[in-house]
Amino acid sequence: MKRLLALVLALTGCIATWAQEQAIRPLDVPMSFSGTYGELRHDHFHSGVDWRVGGKAGDDIHAIKSGYVSRVSVSPWGYGNGLYITHPDGTTSVYGHMLRFFDALARRVEAEQYAQESFSVNLTFGPDEFPVRQGDVVGQVGNTGSSAGPHLHMEIRDTEKDLTLNYISRGVYKPLDRTAPQFHRVAFYALDTLPVAESWRIHNLTNPAAVRDTLPLPRRSYVAIDATDRQEGTGAKLAVEEYRVSLDDTLLFAFKVGDVAFDKGRYIKSLIEYRESRLGGRDLVKSRVDPNNLLADRIECHNGGLIILDDDAVHTLRLDAIDEHGNRASLRYKVRRADGFQAPAPDTTLHSTPWLWYMQNMVSDGAMTYYLPAGALADWLLSDASILC
Ligand SMILES: [Zn+2]
């Protein structure tokens, strides 16, 4: 009986392995990336991985698993020629910026473009129209759409939830990565609370690892971090997967990108120090947490992510940047409370009435009235009751 049970278990194990195909690489060239999942891109997180092809278009793209072509999108923008293959395991692989699709599909797309009299088309297909087997050549690498050079943008999505999955941190592919992230800039901001939460930059550390002196901070402040990751075999600046800020032994803030749903991607504006980004700078992840930041399910925080110094002692502030393979870079600063930080004069060009994120906001110039629905803004106000954590 035991032997029979073992046999049954072994057989079901075989069937499960057969059904759950392991993804193969989409390209024949050695695996190397110019962009990774979760990179901060001003108004969205990079939702896939950019596979390098050595600067030239035309390399074959292979279906990473069996399935069927469920969608094709053609556009001068975005993914350019984009191909979606739905797999039986509940995932969909997406291939962007393609030079061309395989012949039968290319003919169908062209016919639809003529029929619709439009270059841009968005077509969906049933399981029987264009089935593909793992390894089939589904087209070639290109530079179409919003792309700055030939590469393959590839995503793996949860088909049902329309979530893009961080497949490198899941270990679907295993690039060599023993290199820790790098800090490029660390900035500190003082925070005043009257009449509304007003913050201003007080330290801008462009060589953040070189600071030895104790940093003076006001009673309430927060920190923002510009860091990127490195990997062997590529000069690209890649995504940091997790940011952590601790004061002495207390974790004040941690953000881990996780899997990002498309409807939450815009909340990156609430994660970064948005003014720095708008002024043309890079995206710095800030420790202060806005009350309506809908990325809160991937944020851990204490005191709203604020550095609060209630005594005159020297404290240790620690910053960590961790990549998807667990390589970690750390910075430690000695900080001490100091008084006399003066807020700059208020910007009179700004709207004089604060807009409350939890209310509908309205502005009217007589001829037209604009409404902003409640919850459309992320920023906080002075009430401590609005602090998420
Ligand atoms: Zn990309």
Q: What is the C-alpha end-to-end distance of the chain, expressed in Å? A: 56
pLDDT digit string, tens, across residues 320-362: 999 999 999 999 999 999 988 888 776 666 555 667 778 888 8
Please list the residues that pair with 226 across neighbouring strands: 185
Distance (angstroms) between ligand 1 centre and the Cα of 237 equals 13
- CA quadruple 369, 373, 379, 380: dihedral positive or negative? positive
Distance (angstroms) between ligand 1 centre and the Cα of 239 equals 12
pLDDT tier at 243, thresholds 50, 70, 90? very high
Distance (angstroms) between ligand 1 centre and the Cα of 146 equals 9
Position 349 scores a pLDDT of 63
Distance (angstroms) between ligand 1 centre and the Cα of 49 equals 6
pLDDT digit string, tens, across residues 202-230: 999 999 999 999 999 999 999 999 999 99
Position 350 scores a pLDDT of 58
Distance (angstroms) between ligand 1 centre and the Cα of 266 equals 17
Distance (angstroms) between ligand 1 centre and the Cα of 82 equals 12
Distance (angstroms) between ligand 1 centre and the Cα of 242 equals 20
pTM: 0.86
Q: What is the dihedral of CA 95, 156, 263, 229, to 10 degrees?
A: -90
Distance (angstroms) between ligand 1 centre and the Cα of 46 equals 6
All domains of the chain in start order, with CATH: 23-164 (2.70.70.10), 182-337 (no CATH)
pLDDT digit string, tens, across residues 282-332: 899 999 998 888 888 899 999 999 999 999 999 999 999 999 999 999 999
CA–CA gap between residue 248 and residue 225 (Å, rounded): 18
pLDDT digit string, tens, across residues 90-133: 999 999 999 999 999 999 999 999 999 999 999 999 999 999 99
Distance (angstroms) between ligand 1 centre and the Cα of 120 equals 20
Distance (angstroms) between ligand 1 centre and the Cα of 48 equals 6
